[in-house]
Amino acid sequence: MKSVIFVADLFINDYVGGAELTTEALLEASPDTLEVRKLHCQALTQEIADENKDAHWVICNFATLKDDIKTYFCKNMDYSIIEYDYKFCKYRSLEKHTAATKGECDCLTTLSGKINTAFYAYAHKIWFMSDAQREIFLSKIKHIKAEKCETLSSIFSEGDLRFINSIKDNEKDGNYLIIGSDSWIKGVADSIKFAEDNNLEYEVVRGIPYPELLIKMSTSRGLLFHPLGSDTCPRTTIEAKLLGCDLILNDYVQHKDEDWFSTPQRCNEYMLSRPSTFWEHYEQ
């Protein structure tokens, strides 16, 4: 049986973030025809790689993956990358890099950056979260071949999609939700300012369990989200679309103009199709 090994900095039992939720949804949807395992980046050694030379490796977030392991993979292993953000930049965001240093990102000129360039270039496949993100990678890293790149988008489990569909017709109030976060890129303060400047009723929510957040969203007029930098495919915007909310987004929401995101129905159909799109590639 063909083996597929997922490698990531963190999995869902370590941290509940958007990347981890998408990875977990893919793992849950894995077919019986494949043996699927997972391994933390920090635990991956050359010896483990050699013991699994026949496996296909799926590299998710890899901030803690050592440069010598990346180099070894370039030369010796069959692997794909699921790119959740912009890991060729040490800030994982071109806009955050500029905000922090007052200069454009130059990470690709460093030794670590050049290793990352090779790591992307030698990948069998790179899955991106949005078309806009994919185009930025292709423009920045010339060695990546476009035919090896595909937009996957964020992934939801069947159970989560069923629950969302069961509450999508709830009666809505007049509030716009703003999802509270301490992450710079999420731009919470800017979203609040926009709401106040435009006399919108709003509520900031944070720290509530996921099902409660979805129910709260299903009874809210809309979602207001103005990130400060490129957010490749934020899950809350997809949840809000599926729940029939009005969306007030800025251009840093990178998937917002893709065709599948135009209506709740198209969004639902697209979300249902994504796990099989991924796994069919590896069952061939």
Q: What is the pLDDT of residue 202?
A: 98
In a domain, 115, yes or no: yes
Whether residue 116 sits in one domain with residue 214? no
Whether residue 165 sits in one domain with residue 146? no
Whether residue 244 sits in one domain with residue 179? yes
Whether residue 195 sits in one domain with residue 122? no
Domain termination residue (choose one: 123, 152, 181) = 152
**Residue-by-residue pLDDT tens, the chain, 284 positions:** 899 999 999 999 999 999 999 999 999 999 999 999 999 999 999 999 999 999 999 999 999 999 999 999 999 999 999 999 999 999 999 999 999 999 999 999 999 999 999 999 999 999 999 999 999 999 999 999 999 999 999 999 999 999 999 999 999 999 999 999 999 999 999 999 999 999 999 999 999 999 999 999 999 999 999 999 999 999 999 999 999 999 999 999 999 999 999 999 999 999 999 999 999 999 97
Q: What is the pLDDT of residue 110?
A: 96
CATH code, domain carrying 44: 3.40.50
Whether residue 21 sits in one domain with residue 135? yes
Whether residue 168 sits in one domain with residue 134? no
In a domain, 226, yes or no: yes
Whether residue 145 sits in one domain with residue 10? yes
- From residue 280, how far is each of 26, 30, 274, 275, 277 by CA, in Å? 12, 10, 10, 9, 6
What dihedral do alpha carbons 256, 260, 265, 268 form, nearest 10°? -90
Among residues 6, 81, 10, 76, the alpha carbon closest in space to that of 47 is found at: 76
Whether residue 163 sits in one domain with residue 148? no
Whether residue 146 sits in one domain with residue 6? yes
SS3 string of 178-236? EECCCCHHHCHHHHHHHHHHCCCCEEEECCCCHHHHHHHHHCCCEEEECCCCCECCCHH
Which residue range forms the structural domain that includes residue 263?
Answer: 158-271
Number of domains in the chain: 2
Residue 16 in tokens = 């509940």
Buried b (16+ CB within 10 A) or exposed e, 253-267: bbbbebebbeebeeb
In a domain, 276, yes or no: no
Query: In angstroms, how far is CA 162 from the centroid of its own chain?
Result: 21
Whether residue 262 sits in one domain with residue 171? yes
In a domain, 108, yes or no: yes
In a domain, 281, yes or no: no
In a domain, 130, yes or no: yes
User: Residue 4: what are its φ and ψ, rounded to 5°?
Assistant: -125, 125
- Contact between 270 and 260 under an 8 Å Cβ cutoff? The reply is yes
Q: What is the pLDDT of residue 247?
A: 98
Domain termination residue (choose one: 152, 179, 202) = 152
Whether residue 135 sits in one domain with residue 78? yes
- Contact between 265 and 241 under an 8 Å Cβ cutoff? The reply is no
Domain termination residue (choose one: 152, 178, 211) = 152
Whether residue 246 sits in one domain with residue 201? yes
In a domain, 278, yes or no: no
In a domain, 256, yes or no: yes
